[in-house]
Amino acid sequence: MDMIKLNNRDYEWEEGLTVRRLLQKETFTYPRLIVKINNVLVPDEEFESTVIRDGDDVKVIHLLAGG
Amino acid sequence: MNIEKLKSAHKLLKEYKYELGKIERGYTNRTLYINLGDNTIKEKTVTQLMKDKFIGGKGFGLYYLWNAVTPDTKWNSPENEIVIASGPVGGITQYPGSGKSLVCSLSPLTGMPMDSNVGGYFGPLLKFSGFDALELQGKADKDVIVFIDGNSGTIRIEEAPEEAIDSHILGEQLTEMYAENEEDKRNISVVSAGSAANNAYIGLLNFTFYDVRRKQIRLKQAGRGGIGTVFRDKKIKALVVKFAGVKGNLNNPADQSSINKAGIKLHKEIHDLDDKQNRMRQVGTANIIEVMDQYDLLPTHNYKFGGHPDTYKISSKVFTSMITQNTPDGCWYGCSMSCAKAVDRFELKTGPYKGQKVIVDGPEYENAAGLGSNCGIFDPYAILELNFYCDTYAVDTISYGTLTAFLMECYENGIINKEITGGLELNFGNSSASLEMLHQMARGEGFGKLAGLGIRNLKRIFVEQYGADPVFLNDIGMEQKGLEFSEYMPKESLAQQGGYGLTNKGPQHDEAWLIFMDMVNNQIPTFEDKAEALHYFPMFRTWFGLNGLCKLPWNDIAPADNKLTEEPAKIPDHVQNYVDIFNGVTGKKIDKNELIVQSERVYNFQRIFNIRMGYGKRIHDAIPYRAMGPVTAEEYLSRQERYDKQLKELVGFNPEGKTTEEKMAALRAYRKDQYEKLTDAVYKRRGWTMDGVPTVEHLKAIGMDLPELVEVVKKHL
């Protein structure tokens, strides 16, 4: 099975998986996110166009530190 | 309202004149002591030790409380105190969130020192009137008001028999009574409780500020731990402070420009980014209701679940449409974050004020989650009505929500029934029953009065009087140390279980909120990582309470380039702002590391205070299993795929062919063991023994080896 790492956990990869699609699949709806692929920051405006490749190390860091 | 009639019924018990002081670098260097038992009023000098070791705010409150009580003192002993203090930074107007008051007292719920952080103008106006803190000790014979006139240097204790008890009326009456005219009302702040605080252990204190646009008082709450109950037990009807002449430089800071600089930077961030980030200016803390639901973190049905299909009915969009928009809602001057939201002209449908149109301060996230989803209530009007009555009756919305959710689960399990509740049908979702129980609590009648004793007492009563299973009640009763949990689902975040459990005052999220760092981001995977977070964040957050500051401007807004920093969760740029404004006010030269040590001193002091009162050990840091995992098959089955996967991958237990009960038992053993391992790691990081006692070596290392503290810990080492 083709896999990526999402926040250091195994995650099933699919062909054409974009950052936006990943966020939708995971219902990552919180607006303050830091997304990095292989430690390179992905700007918010590039979520739609950035394709995640098989084996990538993806970090989606939520900057929510609560009440 | 006939103010003259109310005023003419006052009887002066004591008047005290004092010299107006001057604030030097954030301190008046003087505090005010009032004994309601014998009407003593005196001034005390702030010592260098207090400033060096305790800083101010909650630090001063805990210090005075320690000196006032003995290990035998109970919440309703005359010697118990209520201490209200701002802090050295408190009262500046250039940096958002700088008007907080910190309130400390021995709690009726926990028997330990409680601290609560509240907005409104009282703390800063008290300081500008000449006092870094106010100590209230003793008990009055009849209801009294304490009035502090910070311009004439006069303090009066007056019997006040005729004013209302409930805060939304009393606050208006006293603002009208003590103001010279409409313009003068902004110079007044009232502290009061409400009728439920006469009966329930979950009474809170309301702090007012006068909203000059609405021409009404607003209420902010020192909610947690029953300090309003102590207030009414002392027969204090209200505290009133009046000070005209608030200006931006009254703290007489060492370096005004560094404060201005930090403030301008943050104002710009809020202006430019808040609409894209948390929308604090639109809807306040309620912005996260649906976020919590989407991440399975919104407590639902007494923390059984983390979400519900009906959450959309109480989403932030719904409340945004009800909250009055485009009006500055800061609870202290200069706070551009403006999160003190309100619903105007809300028509009440129940209770003694039925039919009246009132202002509802809120809803905060905690109110929507506690009074709403956790009780299965998804009616925004019911939530607002509960919110209003909790505030004016002086009921902590968090404790009320969590204990009502507990009672609803007990009711649905047949542990209590209609006969016991006096006819209240406490099913999940029954907002009418919740409202009626609240009104009973205020009247001191029926099942509502019993409910006001809090979950810990209710568990005992249900076991003793109704033969309930103590194991089940301890599993589902979401309290620890006697305090009800606040409104986040911690089951899937071990670090947040520690954030609730390994605290000084009980499971309140203001020490640490680590759910996303842990559960979603997976940034703190090891016990040591979690322990480091459970060291840093509680210490950092403690610091707000030492200085009269609000937590929200720290991380509910972040600079645009925060994501490029090494540790974005800490918001490093804002940490530096706090260093700068502290140094700017006090003239000291601390750095971000010394900031943490300042907190560590007070944090360890509070821990030792707990130990001195007979608590504060490892056994008291245990949490109910509902906070850790599924207690019932219903919970397990609702997230079966997740739990089965964890059993396979984390526990090494093959769930195939096993009954739900067998799987639950295996998961329970694993999760409880994880919590114990986390506890070990956190105690080690904090410099405590494995029983949770600060070591003498650690106290020396942080400069807090005061003889009275060493004397307490030595008995436990």
**Is B513 in contact with B488 (CB distance < 8 Å)?**
yes
**Residue B513 shares a structural domain with residue B478:** no
Contact A61 B523 (CB under 8 A): yes
**Residue B281 shares a structural domain with residue B374:** yes
Is there a domain that residue B564 lies in? no
Backbone phi, psi, residue B630, to 5°: -70, 120
Task: Give A33→chain B minimum CA distance, Å.
Answer: 8
Render pLDDT for A13-66 as a digit per residue (tens, 0 to 9): 999 999 999 999 999 988 889 999 999 999 999 999 999 999 999 999 998 866
Render pLDDT for B186-215 as a digit per residue (tens, 0 to 9): 999 999 999 999 999 999 999 999 999 999
pLDDT at B714 over 70: yes
**Residue B126 shares a structural domain with residue B211:** yes
Q: What is the pLDDT of residue B611?
A: 98
Contact B294 A29 (CB under 8 A): yes
Strand pairing partners for B78?
A: none
Kindly state the average pLDDT of the residues B518-528: 96
Q: What percent of chain B has pLDDT over 90?
A: 96
Q: Compare CB distances from B568 to A7, A31, A61 and report the shortest one's residue.
A: A61
**Residue B471 shares a structural domain with residue B507:** no
State whether residue B377 is helix, strand or coil: coil
State whether residue B13 is helix, strand or coil: strand
**Is B486 in contact with B366 (CB distance < 8 Å)?**
yes
Residue A42 is given by DSSP the state: E
**Whose structure tokens read 């639109």?**
B282
> Does domain A3-62 correspond to CATH entry 3.30.70.890?
no
Contact A32 B277 (CB under 8 A): yes
Last residue of a domain, which of B426, B456, B484?
B484
Q: What is the pLDDT of residue B326?
A: 82
Q: Compare CB distances from A67 to B513, B520, B569 and report the shortest one's residue.
A: B513
Render pLDDT for B220-265 as a digit per residue (tens, 0 to 9): 999 999 999 999 999 999 999 999 999 999 999 999 999 999 999 9
Kindly state the average pLDDT of the residues B453-476: 98
pLDDT at B273 over 90: yes
**Residue B473 shares a structural domain with residue B499:** no
Q: How many domains does chain B contain in total?
A: 3
Chain A CB contacts of B365 under 8 Å are 67
**Residue B356 shares a structural domain with residue B418:** yes
Contact B562 A63 (CB under 8 A): yes
**Upstream peptide bond of B363 is cis (omega within 30 degrees of 0):** yes
Is there a domain that residue B567 lies in? no
Render pLDDT for B677-690 as a digit per residue (tens, 0 to 9): 999 999 999 999 99
Last residue of a domain, which of B196, B227, B242?
B242
**Residue B144 shares a structural domain with residue B48:** yes
Contact B520 A7 (CB under 8 A): yes
For β-strands B236-242 and B144-149, DSSP reports them as: parallel
**Mean confidence (pLDDT) of chain B:** 97
- Model confidence band, residue B549 (pLDDT cutoffs 50, 70, 90): very high
Q: Long-range contacts for B685-688 (Cβ within 8 Å, ≥24 apart)? A: B685/B528, B685/B531, B685/B532, B685/B534, B685/B535, B686/B535, B686/B604, B687/B604, B688/B607
Is there a domain that residue B256 lies in? no
Render pLDDT for B301-342 as a digit per residue (tens, 0 to 9): 999 999 999 999 999 999 999 999 888 889 999 999 999 999
Is there a domain that residue B458 lies in? yes
| Residue pairs spanning A and B at CB distance below 8 A | 68
Q: Touching check for A32 and chain B: CB below 8 Å?
A: yes
State whether residue B391 is helix, strand or coil: helix
For β-strands B205-211 and B188-192, DSSP reports them as: antiparallel
**Residue B434 shares a structural domain with residue B546:** no
Chain B CB contacts of A62 under 8 Å are 516, 520-521
Interface mutation vs chain A, best among B516, B526, B564, B571, most A CBs within 10 Å: B516
**Is B678 in contact with B685 (CB distance < 8 Å)?**
no
pLDDT at A67 over 70: no
**Residue B601 shares a structural domain with residue B653:** yes
Instruction: Give the containing element (helix H, strand E) for B544.
Output: helix B527-547
The CATH number of the domain where B659 resides is what?
Answer: 1.10.599.10
ipTM: 0.95
For residue B658, CA distances in Å to B373, B649, B667 come to: 32, 16, 12
| B82 residue type, one letter | I
- For chain A, the domains span 3-62
The CATH number of the domain where B116 resides is what?
Answer: 3.60.9.10
Domain that holds residue B548: 494-557+590-714
Q: Touching check for A31 and chain B: CB below 8 Å?
A: yes
| B516 residue type, one letter | F
Q: Compare CB distances from B521 to A27, A61, A67 and report the shortest one's residue.
A: A61
What count of residues does chain B have?
717
For β-strands B144-149 and A57-62, DSSP reports them as: unpaired
Render pLDDT for B118-136 as a digit per residue (tens, 0 to 9): 999 999 999 999 999 999 9
Contacting B residues, span 557-586, partner chain A, CB-CB under 8 Å: 558, 562-564, 568-569
Q: Touching check for B341 and chain A: CB below 8 Å?
A: no
Render pLDDT for B381-401 as a digit per residue (tens, 0 to 9): 999 999 999 999 999 999 999
Chain B CB contacts of A28 under 8 Å are 520
Q: What does the DSSP assignment read for B315-330?
A: SHHHHHHHSPPSS---
**Is B451 in contact with B437 (CB distance < 8 Å)?**
yes
The dihedral over CA atoms of A42, A46, A50, A55, expressed in degrees to the nearest 10, equals 20
**Residue B342 shares a structural domain with residue B208:** no
Q: What is the pLDDT of residue A1?
A: 62
